[in-house]
């Protein structure tokens, strides 16, 4: 199995993931310090890869300096995607105009570099999807921690990858579970988003990449397939999307 999206890179955590059978991990940076950290870690191991961007929360004042900095980091040898970027109106930790300006730049950077685009959206689905329709045609788009089951048909119709995290295992997530059961094989990914969203039976504890196997087993059951079959599908999709 692979973990396509996590925010942890400590050696012990990575070792635990390997012991659990997790072959590759996408390490996600969300600000300047964390992007530099995941770039360093990814250069140290063949099974760690960097995804760099500015989370919507970290886009206040986004301008030329951030564009130059991010453009330089995204050209790193170990970088497999740009993001996570998008819009977050739930907390509004950054002005919405700054979030949008950053989002637009991430889209164009992904296009320039020929890299996938990793999307974060929360309480901003309409604006997020509208901007993707307007600017991201032809790009590989990954809906990280997929959270809009009522827009599944729209996402599938546009060929967006749908990546499910540990919250799909929660009892209250019936709509999300239906979406995970319905996504076409070729658009399915799984992730941890660790240290957040630990899956059942570990809910409430700090999450880590090794736990992606719990989410994957749950999704396999939803889809009525063996774990080995889901593993083959997800690993194949990740290899295609990230070229790793």
Mean pLDDT of 206-235: 98
Is residue 10 over pLDDT 90?
no
Residues near 182 by beta carbon (within 8 Å), at least 6 away in sequence:
152
Q: Which of 172, 165, 178 is nearest to 234 (CA)?
A: 165
Q: How far is CA 221 from CA 123, 203, 215, 217, 229, in A?
A: 29, 19, 10, 6, 11
**Structure tokens, 11:** 């050696």
Question: In whole angstroms, what is the distance from residue 162 CA to residue 179 CA?
Answer: 9
Checking if the pLDDT of 9 tops 90, the result is no
Domain CATH for 137: 3.20.20.140
Contacts of 33 (CB under 8 A, 6+ apart): none
- Cβ neighbors of 90 (< 8 A, separation 6 or more) are 122, 123, 124
pLDDT, tens digit, for every residue of 25-79? 999 999 999 999 999 999 999 999 999 999 999 999 999 999 999 999 999 999 9
Tell me the average pLDDT across 198-205.
96
Q: What is the pLDDT of residues 99-144, one digit of tens each?
A: 999 999 999 999 999 999 999 999 999 999 999 999 999 999 999 9
- The total of structural domains in the chain comes to 1
pLDDT category at 212 given cuts 50, 70, 90 is very high
CA–CA distance, 41 with 26 (Å, rounded to integer): 11
- Half-sphere CA count of 116, side-chain side, radius 13 A: 28
Token output for 80: 């497999």
pLDDT, averaged across the chain: 97
Query: Helix 96-113 to helix 64-74 angle, to the nearest 10 degrees?
Result: 30
Boundaries of domain holding 137 = 2-242
Counting residues of the chain whose pLDDT is more than 90, the rounded percentage is: 98
What confidence category does residue 232 fall into, taking pLDDT thresholds of 50, 70 and 90?
Answer: very high
| Alpha carbon distance 44, 41 (integer Å) | 5
Question: What pLDDT does 11 receive?
Answer: 86
């Amino acid at each position: 199995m692979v973990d396509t999206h996590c925010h942890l890179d400590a050696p012990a955590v990575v070792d635990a993931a390997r012991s659990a059978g997790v072959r590759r991990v996408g390490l996600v940076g969300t600000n300047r310090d964390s992007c530099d950290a995941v770039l360093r870690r990814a250069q140290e191991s063949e099974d760690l890869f960097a995804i760099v961007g500015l989370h919507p929360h970290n886009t206040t004042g986004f301008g030329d300096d951030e564009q130059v900095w991010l453009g330089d980091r995204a050209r790193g040898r170990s970088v497999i995607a740009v993001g996570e970027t998008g819009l977050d109106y739930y907390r509004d930790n950054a002005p919405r105009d700054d979030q949008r300006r950053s989002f637009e730049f991430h889209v164009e950077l992904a296009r320039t570099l020929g890299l996938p685009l990793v999307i974060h959206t929360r309480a901003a689905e309409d604006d997020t999807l509208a901007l993707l329709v307007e600017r991201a045609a032809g790009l590989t788009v990954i809906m990280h921690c997929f959270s809009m089951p009522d827009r599944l048909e729209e996402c599938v119709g546009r060929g967006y990858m749908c990546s499910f995290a540990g919250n799909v295992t929660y009892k209250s997530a019936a709509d999300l579970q239906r979406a995970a059961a319905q996504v076409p094989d070729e658009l399915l990914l799984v992730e941890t988003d660790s240290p957040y969203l630990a899956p059942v039976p570990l809910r409430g504890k700090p999450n880590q990449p090794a736990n992606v196997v719990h989410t994957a087993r749950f999704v396999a059951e939803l889809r009525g397939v063996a774990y080995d079959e889901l593993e083959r599908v997800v690993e194949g999709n990740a290899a295609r999307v990230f070229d790793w």
